[in-house]
Structure 1
Amino acid sequence: MLRALMIRDMLLIDRLDLVFQPGLNVLTGETGAGKSILLDCLGFVLGWRGRADLVRQGADLGEVVAEFDLPPGHPAHAVLEDAGITVEDGLILRRTVTPEGRRQAWVNDRRAGAELLRNLSDGLVELHGQHDDRGLLDPRGHRQLLDQFAGSADLLVQVRAAWQSLSQARKARTEADARLAALRAEEEFLRHAVAELDKLNPEPGEDAVLDTRRRTLQAAAKVREDVARAVQALSIQGAEGAMRDAQRWLEGASDRAAEALEGRLDAPLEALARATIELADAQAGVERALDALDMDPAELERAEERLFAIRALARKHSVLPDDLGGLAQDLRARLGALDGSARDMAALEQAETQASDTHRAACAALTALRTEAAGRLDAAMAGELAPLKMERAVFRTVITPDAPGGDGADTVAFTVATNPGAPSGALNRIASGGELSRFLLALKVCLTQGAAGLTLIFDEIDRGVGGATADAVGRRLRRLADEAQVLVVTHSPQVAALGAHHWRVEKRVQGETTRSTVVPLSPPERVDEVARMISGDHVSDAAREAARSLLNA
């Protein structure tokens, strides 16, 4: 409920403090007195889009403060909780604007943006009028209104949960389809690559082992050539033969000329004997070394071929040689996914079918509930339209199939036919101004259930009607006010007389300055105001008597 509204330096208002009451609050005044200014200011503090030139001429800052009561369970509590704002009972919205258009807002002294204000306003205030395209005249909101009337909140939760499950199942199946298509596109490559890798079967670290073995074998081949030449040099064809020849020649010479040589060859012969022994040892050692270097000539070729094959395959797949094993595992897994895709896709399709059946069943139950509620709403509207002198008008809630989604599988539209047999259509296209006002009022009376904490504002909803019809409009407004706070801007004396609280909007001119203000009316002042609304500027005794009659009715 709107408890208070404080306005400073906005449009034609310099300073205004209003304290509103529960029930039916009426605001009256001459045309142009500034009643719309109050709505502009309230819309401003609620974050609604409106006119730009809001600051009073000559002022440095315009400000509006609105104070609301929030009963437990009010929808605004959830919005505030999401914003990290704690409210125990009251809610204070404050918003300022400079002449240059800079705006700032606060919610209970916490800085806030216009979006938060608008989200809060959805549960705080509803504005209705002949040009109200934000509320009952907006076909996009008719399904939600019918659901509120039907009490389908629990079933909507089921439908949305089923839709979420179906959406997830569809997404899983779609993603699996995409993966399968990608795998099928590279199936030939996968099978060839896996076969190639399996055939080579490289092991982690094998590249380094092969490279080391290759280098060893290459070095061994070169060394063996040198050792073999050394063996040849030490053999009977080399040093050994030469030494034996020398030894034989010296021994012969020593025997033939022993006296002449006087033993001079003995020492050399002994040395040759020792050298022969050492040479034999050297030859044996070199031959053993040569035997140790003996290898399969094809081993180097085999090592090189495998090393080059591993490196070529690594370059082909743009990985390191040691990563070929991991690549093989990945490719085998992708190939396995491809080979098992039929089984997996069948499971995903079954899950999607089950989710679709569950969602379809929940939608069907919701459609049935909406259809039943539509019948009740149409009957309730017929009962409301008759007292409003529209007993020949026909209101219908039309439910048509729609693409299934999170809110069911229905489109809902409120249609009217102003006379039997006349074509029906949207509210704002079929009804005239006065008829539209009464349709909207009747619809709001039928739809308002448990609206505690909500403020309903009707801006000249009674325009174009008078007499008994205006009285019926006022009584419907007063009935609405039993469940919600109602503020009505009216030019109808019948409606004004039924208000529990009455304010008059006045425009005052002082010198070159024009000001609008709002004053609460005492019982005698209400008589004069209703009489003015009946007779005009000249208030007669008869008009006062008629006003008293209306006020006491």
Structure 2
Amino acid sequence: MLRGLDISNMLIIDRLELAFQPGLNVLTGETGAGKSILLDSLGFVLGWRGRADLVRQGADQGEVTAWFDLGSSHPAHAVLEEAGLPGGSELILRRINASDGRKTAWVNDRRCSGEVLRALSETLVELHGQHDDRGLLDPKGHRAILDDFAKASGLRDKVRQAWSALAAARKAATKAAEERDAIAAEEEFLRHAVGELDKLNPQEGEEAQLDARRRLMQGAEKIRSDVVNAYEMLGQGGAETQLGDALRWLDGVADRADGTLEAPMAALSRAMVELDEAMEGVVAAIDTMSFNPIELEETEERLFAIRGLARKHDVQPDDLAGFADTLRGKLNALDAGEAAQAELEKAVRDAQSAYDAAADALSAARSKAAGKLDKAVGAELAPLKMERAVFQTQITPEAAGPEGRDAVSFTVATNPGAPAGPLGKIASGGELSRFLLALKVVLTKGQSGLTMIFDEIDRGVGGATADAVGRRLAALSQGGQVLVVTHSPQVAALGAHHWRVSKAVSKGMTLSTVTALSEAERVDEVARMLSGDTITEAARAAARVLLGDQFAA
């Protein structure tokens, strides 16, 4: 419930503090006095998108603060918790608009974004008027309104989930079919390439090994001859013989050398061991260099075949084995594709069935709720002097989508036998106001903690009809809070609390003020609304009658 509004330097408002009450609050005043500025300021602090030039001329910034009472179960608590903002029984919103257009907002003294303000506003305030911008006059919003009335959000969520699952299944099936078609188009190439690669069976690293072996064999004859010569120099008649002879000569005289030959002899022994190891390595090298000329030819053929396939498929030789696996995988997918595609198509059918079931359940709930909504609105039209009018919720099939398969629109017929048509086009200004009021009463029934604002909802009606509108607003405000901007004395007289909006010129500047009216002041204000600028005693008497009826009620 809105408890207060503090406005500074907004348009023609210098400073204004208002304390609102439960029940029906009425704001009256002459056209242009500033009633719409109050709504603009409230909308500003609630984060609604509106006019940009709100700062009063000459001021550095404009500021609006609004505070609300929140019950323990108020839906605003969930918004605050999700946004990580402090909660409590009181909610204070503050927003500043600098003269350069920058806007800054706080919730309970914590900085926040305009999006959070707008999310909170959805739980706090409903603004309603003939130029309704919240769905009642826009057919695009009628389906959501019906779903809310039907309490079908759970069914609608199931439809959305089923639609997402169906879309995903369709996408997977389509993608698989396209991939299978693409593979089928190159099946002949794939089978030939895989056969060629399987026959050659290239291995990773094989190309480098073959190239090294080929180079070794190509120069092996000359290399082997030199290595054999080296072996002969090391073996019998060479270094091995000479080292052995030297060791024997030294050994023969060692006992007469007083130990001076022990170290040289030990070194020669070690050299003999190292020489043996060297000779073994040289022999192994000679064996490696021994090859059959046919082996060179075979090595070159395989090396060239691997390199040729690599060029043909534009891959590195070491990648041929992996490339073969990729092509083989495509063939396997093609061979198994028919069964896989059948599974995917079955998944689409299952998802379609799940969507159809969810959409049917939602359509049934909508159809049932439509009849109840029509009956409830019809019951509200009678007290508003429109007992002959007919309100109907039309549900027609439309293409399936995430919201189901129903198009919803509100139609009205204002007189018996008259053709029905869209709500915003058939009804006159006064009739439209009453239709919207009846809808609002029905749609807000059961809601708690919501402040409803009606901006000249009584425009275009007068006399008994205006009185009926006022009484319905008064009934709607019982146990809650309704704010009404009105030019109707009948509606104003039914208010539990009355404010007059006026403007005056002070020091060459036009300023708007809002005054809470006493009972005597209410008489004069209602009399002004009845008679105009000149308030006569007859007008005061008529005003007392209106106010007296209200007090009697």
Question: Which residue identity is paired with 2:156?
Answer: L
1:448-477 per-residue CA deviation (whole Å, 9 max, x = no partner) reads 133212221100101111222112111211
Correspondence for 2:15? 15
Which of 391, 416, 423 aligns to 2:419? It is 423
Shift, 1:226, TM fit: 8.8
> Is 1:474–1:494's contact at 8 Å kept on the other side of the alignment?
yes
Shift, 1:15, TM fit: 0.6
> Is 1:28–1:491's contact at 8 Å kept on the other side of the alignment?
yes
Shift, 1:40, TM fit: 1.1
Distance 1:60 1:479 in 2: 43
- Does residue 489 (structure 1) correspond to residue 485 (structure 2)? The answer is yes
> Is 1:180–1:338's contact at 8 Å kept on the other side of the alignment?
yes
Question: Which residue identity is paired with 1:129?
Answer: G
Distance 1:73 1:186 in 2: 65
Shift, 1:149, TM fit: 1.0
Question: Which residue identity is paired with 2:541?
Answer: A
Cα separation, partners in 2 of 1:135 and 1:372, compared to 1, 3 Å: same
Distance 2:286 2:469 in 1: 122
Correspondence for 1:388? 384
Distance 2:364 2:115 in 1: 36
Question: Which residue identity is paired with 2:176?
Answer: A
- 1:339-418 residue pairs with structure 2 within 5 A? 339-418=335-414
Cα separation, partners in 2 of 1:470 and 1:292, compared to 1, 3 Å: closer
> Is 1:159–1:406's contact at 8 Å kept on the other side of the alignment?
yes
> Is 1:528–1:539's contact at 8 Å kept on the other side of the alignment?
no
Cα separation, partners in 2 of 1:151 and 1:38, compared to 1, 3 Å: same
Distance 2:349 2:89 in 1: 48
Question: Which residue identity is paired with 2:550?
Answer: L
Cα separation, partners in 2 of 1:174 and 1:209, compared to 1, 3 Å: same
Which of 434, 444, 450 aligns to 1:448? It is 444
Correspondence for 1:106? 106
Correspondence for 1:325? 321
- 1:86-101 residue pairs with structure 2 within 5 A? 86-101=86-101
- Does residue 542 (structure 1) correspond to residue 541 (structure 2)? The answer is yes
Identity %: 66
Cα separation, partners in 2 of 1:505 and 1:220, compared to 1, 3 Å: same
Secondary structure of 2:134's counterpart equals coil
- Does residue 309 (structure 1) correspond to residue 308 (structure 2)? The answer is no
Secondary structure of 1:88's counterpart equals coil
> Which stretch shows the higher mean deviation, 139-148 or 494-503?
494-503
Secondary structure of 1:59's counterpart equals coil
* Normalised TM-score (structure 1): 0.84
> Which stretch shows the higher mean deviation, 74-83 or 295-304?
74-83
Shift, 1:518, TM fit: 1.1
Distance 1:161 1:144 in 2: 17
Q: Superposition RMSD on alpha carbons, in Å? A: 2.6
Cα separation, partners in 2 of 1:322 and 1:174, compared to 1, 3 Å: same
* Normalised TM-score (structure 2): 0.84
Shift, 1:445, TM fit: 0.9
Correspondence for 1:279? none
Cα separation, partners in 2 of 1:508 and 1:349, compared to 1, 3 Å: same
Correspondence for 1:532? 528
Secondary structure of 2:383's counterpart equals coil
Distance 1:205 1:215 in 2: 16
> Is 2:376–2:442's contact at 8 Å kept on the other side of the alignment?
yes
Question: Which residue identity is paired with 2:494?
Answer: L
Question: Which residue identity is paired with 2:546?
Answer: A
Correspondence for 2:273? none
Question: Which residue identity is paired with 2:294?
Answer: A
Cα separation, partners in 2 of 1:516 and 1:216, compared to 1, 3 Å: same
Cα separation, partners in 2 of 1:302 and 1:521, compared to 1, 3 Å: same
Secondary structure of 2:202's counterpart equals coil
Shift, 1:416, TM fit: 0.9
Cα separation, partners in 2 of 1:539 and 1:175, compared to 1, 3 Å: farther
Distance 2:121 2:498 in 1: 24
Cα separation, partners in 2 of 1:396 and 1:224, compared to 1, 3 Å: same
Distance 1:77 1:183 in 2: 57
Distance 2:207 2:81 in 1: 63
1:465-508 per-residue CA deviation (whole Å, 9 max, x = no partner) reads 12221121112112222354211111122212222222111223
- Does residue 473 (structure 1) correspond to residue 469 (structure 2)? The answer is yes
Question: Which residue identity is paired with 1:444?
Answer: K
> Is 2:217–2:289's contact at 8 Å kept on the other side of the alignment?
no
**Structure 1: segments with no counterpart, 5+ residues:** 230-288
Shift, 1:322, TM fit: 2.1
Shift, 1:118, TM fit: 2.6
Shift, 1:353, TM fit: 0.7
> Is 1:450–1:483's contact at 8 Å kept on the other side of the alignment?
no
> Is 1:214–1:303's contact at 8 Å kept on the other side of the alignment?
yes
- Does residue 140 (structure 1) correspond to residue 140 (structure 2)? The answer is yes
- 1:235-250 residue pairs with structure 2 within 5 A? none
Distance 1:306 1:341 in 2: 35
Distance 2:320 2:88 in 1: 66
> Is 2:494–2:547's contact at 8 Å kept on the other side of the alignment?
no
Shift, 1:8, TM fit: 0.1
Distance 2:448 2:381 in 1: 24
Shift, 1:522, TM fit: 2.5
Distance 2:499 2:359 in 1: 48
Question: Which residue identity is paired with 1:68?
Answer: F
Distance 1:95 1:142 in 2: 32
Question: Which residue identity is paired with 1:152?
Answer: A
Distance 2:227 2:104 in 1: 97
Secondary structure of 2:164's counterpart equals helix
Cα separation, partners in 2 of 1:224 and 1:535, compared to 1, 3 Å: closer
Shift, 1:544, TM fit: 4.2
- Does residue 514 (structure 1) correspond to residue 510 (structure 2)? The answer is yes
Shift, 1:96, TM fit: 1.6
Shift, 1:28, TM fit: 1.3
Cα separation, partners in 2 of 1:200 and 1:106, compared to 1, 3 Å: same
Shift, 1:47, TM fit: 2.3
Shift, 1:87, TM fit: 2.2
- Does residue 163 (structure 1) correspond to residue 163 (structure 2)? The answer is yes
Correspondence for 2:267? none
Question: Which residue identity is paired with 1:459?
Answer: D
> Is 2:24–2:474's contact at 8 Å kept on the other side of the alignment?
yes
- Between Structure 1 and Structure 2, how many residues are aligned? 496
1:497-546 per-residue CA deviation (whole Å, 9 max, x = no partner) reads 22222211122333422221112223333233223323333141523432
> Which stretch shows the higher mean deviation, 206-215 or 343-352?
206-215
Question: Which residue identity is paired with 1:95?
Answer: R
Cα separation, partners in 2 of 1:545 and 1:46, compared to 1, 3 Å: closer
1:18-61 per-residue CA deviation (whole Å, 9 max, x = no partner) reads 12222221111222221111011111222223223212122221
Shift, 1:290, TM fit: 9.9
Correspondence for 1:338? 334
Distance 2:489 2:528 in 1: 9
Question: Which residue identity is paired with 1:434?
Answer: G
Cα separation, partners in 2 of 1:312 and 1:136, compared to 1, 3 Å: same
Shift, 1:291, TM fit: 9.9
1:244-271 per-residue CA deviation (whole Å, 9 max, x = no partner) reads xxxxxxxxxxxxxxxxxxxxxxxxxxxx
> Which stretch shows the higher mean deviation, 540-549 or 415-424?
540-549
Cα separation, partners in 2 of 1:157 and 1:177, compared to 1, 3 Å: same
Cα separation, partners in 2 of 1:376 and 1:228, compared to 1, 3 Å: closer
Question: Which residue identity is paired with 1:134?
Answer: R
Secondary structure of 2:219's counterpart equals helix
Distance 1:320 1:388 in 2: 86
Distance 1:214 1:100 in 2: 81
